[in-house]
Amino acid sequence: MEETKPQLVKITFDGIEVEVEPGTTIMQAARKIAEADESQAALVPPAMCFYKPLTASGGKCRACLVRVAQGSAKDPRPMPKLVPSCITQVQEGMVVENTTNQAVLDTRKSIVEFLLINHPLDCPICDQAGECHLQDFAFEHGSVKTRYEEDRRTFDKIDIGPYVQLHMTRCILCYRCVYTADQITNKRVHGVMNRGDASEISTYIEKAIDNDFSGNVIDVCPVGALTDKTFRFKNRVWFTKPEDAHRDCDKCCGKTTVWYRGDEIIRVTARKNTWGEVNDFICNTCRFEKKKTSDWVLEGPTKVKRSSVISANKYRANLVKTPDFAIKLADSSYKKIDDTRPFVTDEETIRHQSIENNDKANHRSLLAKNN
Amino acid sequence: MAIKILTEHINTPGIETFDVYRQKGGYTAVEKAIKTMTPEEVVEEAKKSGVRGRGGAGFPMGMKWGFLAKPEGVPRYLVCNADESEPGTFKDHHLMKCIPHLLIEGMIISSFALGANKSFIYVRGELMYVIRILEQAIEEAKAKGFLGKNILGSGYDLELIVQPGGGAYICGEETALLESLEGKRGNPRNKPPFPAVKGLYQSPTVVNNVESISNMPWIINNGGDAYAAIGVGRSTGTKLISASGHINKPGVYEIELGVSVEEFLNSDEYCGGVRKGHHLKALVAGGSSVPILPAHLIMKTANGEDRLMSYESLSDGGFATGTMLGSGGFIVFDETACIVRNTWNFSRFYHHESCGQCSPCREGTGWMEKVLHRIEHGHGSMHDIDLLVDISKKIEGNTICPLGDAAAWPVASAIRHFRDEFMWHITNPHEASQPGAVYQGEMALV
pLDDT surpasses 80 at A327: no
The predicted structure's pLDDT at residue B276: 92
> Chains A and B: how many Cβ contacts under 8 Å?
87
The predicted structure's pLDDT at residue B159: 95
Question: Which of B180, B363, B372, B383 to mutate against chain A (most A CBs within 10 Å)?
Answer: B363
Q: DSSP readout, A132-186?
A: -HHHHHHHHH--SS----SPPP----EEETTTEEE-GGG-----HHHHHHHHHSS
Q: What is the mean pLDDT of residues B96-119?
A: 95
pTM, rounded to two decimals: 0.89
Give tens-digit pLDDT for B148-190: 999 999 999 999 999 999 889 999 999 999 999 999 999 999 9
User: Chain-wide mean pLDDT for chain B?
Assistant: 93
The predicted structure's pLDDT at residue A1: 47
CA dihedral B244, B297, B262, B228 (to 10 degrees): -90
Whether residue B354 and residue A150 make contact (CB cut-off 8 A), yes or no, is no
Identify whether the C-beta of residue A136 lies closer than 8 Å to the C-beta of residue A187: no
Give tens-digit pLDDT for B8-30: 999 999 999 999 999 999 999 99
pLDDT surpasses 90 at A300: no
Task: Tell me how close the Cα of A173 comes to any Cα of chain B, in angstroms.
Answer: 7
- The shortest CB-CB distance from A62 to any of B356, B371, B398 is to B398
The predicted structure's pLDDT at residue A208: 72
Whether residue A196 and residue B366 make contact (CB cut-off 8 A), yes or no, is yes
Residues belonging to chain A with any Cβ–Cβ distance to chain B shorter than 8 Å: 58-63, 65, 81-82, 84, 87, 107, 110-111, 113-115, 117-118, 147-148, 150, 172-173, 175, 191-192, 194-199
What percentage of residues in chain B have a pLDDT greater than 90?
89
What percentage of residues in chain B have a pLDDT greater than 70?
99
Kindly give, in sequence order, each residue whose CB lies less than 8 Å from that of residue A354, ignoring residues fewer than 6 positions away: none
Task: Tell me how close the Cα of B403 comes to any Cα of chain A, in angstroms.
Answer: 11
Is residue A162 very low, low, confident or very high in pLDDT (cuts 50, 70, 90)?
confident
By the CB < 8 Å criterion, does B358 face chain A?
Answer: yes
- The shortest CB-CB distance from A81 to any of B352, B387, B397 is to B397
pLDDT surpasses 70 at B114: yes
The predicted structure's pLDDT at residue B414: 96
Distance CA A286, CA A39 (A): 35
Predicted ipTM? 0.91
Distance CA B192, CA A71 (A): 14
Query: Longest C-alpha distance within chain A, in Å?
Result: 68
Whether residue A150 and residue B356 make contact (CB cut-off 8 A), yes or no, is no
Distance CA A231, CA A225 (A): 14
Distance CA A270, CA B195 (A): 38
